[in-house]
Chains A and B, each alone.
Chain A
Amino acid sequence: MIILTTLLMSALPGASAGSQTATTASVHPNILLQDAHGQAVALTAEPISLAKSCGACHDTAWIAEHSYHTSLGADRPYAAGEAPRPWDTAAGPFGRWDPLTYRRLSGPGESRVDATLAQWAQILGARHVGGGPVTQVAPGAEMNCLVCHLRTPNLKARARSIDDAAWAWQATATLEGGGVVSHTSDGWQYNEAAFLPDHSVSAAALGLGSARSENCGACHGVVPERTKIALTLSSTSAAPDPHKLTRGLVYSGQSMHRSGVNLQGKTKLTRSWDMHAERLLQCSDCHGALNDPMHGAQDRAERPAHLRFDARSISLQDYLRRPQHDFATGHAAPGVLGAKFADTMKRCEDCHDAGQTHEWLPYKQRHFQAMLCESCHVPKVHAPLLKTVDWTVLTPQRGPRNSYRGVTGPLGEVQSLVQGLEPALLPTARPGQPNKLAPHNLVTAFYWVAGDPPLPVRLTDLQAAWFRDGDYAPKLVQALDEDKDGRLSEPELMLDTMPKLGAVQAALSALGLDQPRVIGEIQPYGLHHQVAGRNFAVRDCASCHQDNSRLLRPTSLSEYIPAGVTPQLVKDAPVTLSGSVVVGPEGLSLRPTPEVSGLYVLGQSRFELIDSLGWIAVALVLFGSLLHGGARIFMTRHAHASKEQS
């Protein structure tokens, strides 16, 4: 989509007139793979520099500067008071701490360094396209175009290269297995046969082309190749995707009942995993480049306020030279990566004329005003979803104790039954825009912080407090081992009493941490994929317009409350919880009250006081009538009796 939209490639300076066929990939001309000095690698055997190779036609420096996938928020430091947490410094992974990944890029002067920039670059490396802040510590870690523009990039080889800190070879490694280069005991060797006489390689042979959904799936969710192989929910990512289980993002046109997932009620799930994937839409069709003249999504900041769409677009030639890699995004919190471009992506209404197709829906405009399309068209997420991340304890795998929604049985086991989840509908909170109900998954995280101002306790400190010589620290075993078998089983891994909390606190304090304490936060994740067509969308009025409606259903946040801490909604969350977080026998849950957000839902919203007064008024009238009528009957009979006697 981004590189190869047209045959006009030939108009680009430096483009060769390579053979072209009808396939998308072959539209791209042959490419001269160059090293950092601009020499053909076929001659020098040096690492490939994509800044040079791709830069012959595309302004790679400009592209890298206009890509939040590259900067990861390094160019978006928080203004005073903007940071959602005291220790957050910038939007995106660069400065915004994430309790799911847990690791944090330490700031200058910190005594307890969690990760230096070099370490951070390696931690994130496999899921980072390169370029941006990473180049400060690893000059060879330039933006790797191949990660997204190669049909089958070898992401594992690239990840290995990054793990080995062989940054200069990370782009070359991406080509391993494609016939151009291979890794031997002598290092990386180019295959002479893959090069043409002019030392270029065939783009078609490389599989070079526009980014496909599958490329996005390397980091985001589950996006399998369009094959007949039954889909499973095991990650398609090159590296573990901590967010795969937050959004239930499965983008595939395969029918659910033909997939390899052990879904509840599978035989009736004849719908595809996502209607848009079924109709062959690519991720970039909605999340396109903002200056793509073929796309129509535009950066609002660049557009005159009075125009819905600025028809004055750049030429294809200019676009292909400088395709903006800040992709259109949907509704987002102001402090997250890409938030500057929030609400620029194509929304449902940009393609669908819902008014034409919802004739059956009473008050359709009112429904459209009050809720996003996903509220009905993502009726259920058929995948496990992360519920709680508890870093107050560490599992034997030295990670957090997690719990999930929508699955019975161990996560990742084929036999585990995936029941799916009817998501919570929460009102969005967008300044200057109408708030609408939208499906969300709420992830609650509990973790330790220490010091003043607070910082999250480092993973290394947590592990040092919890483990001694590969086993749990004896003092913690003593405090948490309820069945006194000398071991800590998973049910015992919870800080539900003061002595248990105190034991871990003491262990952390012994490491020199000042005032270690537990805090909790709730992070909402919008659910905008697994879109269902009309036959599987919510159509029943009673789903929302009754007492036990989807809008009122409590959402479990946590089976227990670590350290008795009530979690708070992340400060810049783009939704309101619209209800109360309550403690019950089944743990912590959110009891929604849509009315708090100004929503009045017929059939479900009540004015208890008015109804009570109404009942009293009617009862008084009936009681008065009975009393008055009874007295009349009595008096009439009494009068008759008196008359007869007289």
Chain B
Amino acid sequence: MRRVYLHTIYERIWHWWQALAISALLITGMEVHAPDSISLLGFGLAVAVHNILGAALLMNAVFGLFYQLSTGRIRSFLPEPRDFLSLAMRQVVYYLRGIFRGAPHPIAKTPMKRLNPLQRVTYLAILNILLPVQVVTGVLIWGAQRWPEVLAGLGGLQPLALIHTLAAWLFAAFLFMHIYLTTTAGHTWSAGVLGMITGWEDVEGHPQEDTP
């Protein structure tokens, strides 16, 4: 095991900001969607908080994109075409078999290769499809009263709400999966969580690791 500095201070703030916002958005969104089932803030306040959180999420996404682009660390999110399928299969096999036998991770973590191929594909979809879709539909729903013509052109609130609701469910499913994989894939259940707090993670020794 080697201790490696994987997550910069900005990345960690970005992550927890994002985690907090998405979790709170899911809860307040649930209250807006089904106020009979969940009543924490009251409908009116839940809508207001949901909107503020959405704006915070959007802001964080914009800052995060700027950071990733300006530092070049966005490369760590992009799947590498070379050997992608074979590496992804190794990761799948690891989750299905190796992890039960205490086998080492098939792909070493480094600051520029923090994500395995499955994570890269997932985050690519989350950050480039799901999040934008959620943000755009959310902004349009929020702006329904400001741009009624745009809303009418898109078929009213119904299609927007449908997509927004579907994306919210996918976020919820992702959130649970993310938490599980984070707590189960480290050498201890808390390793991944602590790594995202301190920036340092204990990773299995591989020859190509580097530290800042």
Contacts and interface: CB of A to CB of B under 8 A. Distances in A.
Interface of A: 362-367, 369, 541-542, 545-548, 595, 598-600, 602-603, 605-607, 610-611, 613-615, 617-618, 620-622, 624-625, 628-629, 631-632, 635-636, 639
Nearest to A361: B44
A260 B184 CA distance: 74
A639 B36 contact: no
A234 to B, nearest CB: 42
A641 to B, nearest CB: 14
A275 to B, nearest CB: 25
Interface of B: 32-36, 42-44, 47-48, 95, 99-102, 144-146, 148, 156-158, 161-162, 165-166, 168-170, 172-173, 176-177, 180, 184
A548 B169 CA distance: 24
B166 A610 contact: yes
A618 B33 CA distance: 17
A635 B146 CA distance: 57
A607 B166 CA distance: 9
> Which 8 pairs across A and B sit closest by C-beta, in order of nearness?
A614-B169, A365-B145, A366-B145, A600-B157, A625-B180, A635-B100, A617-B173, A541-B43
Contacts of B95: 628
A366 B150 CA distance: 13
B44 A362 contact: yes
Contact of B36 (A365, A548, A624): A548
B162 A603 contact: no
9 contacts: A365-B145, A546-B43, A595-B158, A607-B166, A618-B169, A618-B176, A625-B180, A628-B184, A635-B100
Contacts of B35: 542, 545-546, 603
Contacts of A365: 145-146, 148
B65 to A, nearest CB: 27
Contacts of A620: 173
Contacts of B170: 614, 617
A547 B36 contact: yes
Contact of B184 (A542, A632, A635): A632
A6 B95 CA distance: 91
Given A365-B146, A628-B180, A602 B47 contact: yes
Contacts of B180: 621, 625, 628-629
Contacts of B36: 546-548
Contact of B33 (A362, A602, A615): A602
B162 A362 contact: no
B113 to A, nearest CB: 24
A367 B180 CA distance: 42
A617 B36 CA distance: 22
Contact of A363 (B99, B100, B145, B156): B145
Contact of B34 (A603, A621, A628): A603
Contact of B145 (A364, A548, A613): A364
Given A605-B161, A614-B168, A617-B170, 11 more contacts: A364-B145, A369-B148, A542-B43, A598-B156, A615-B169, A617-B172, A620-B173, A628-B95, A632-B99, A632-B100, A639-B101
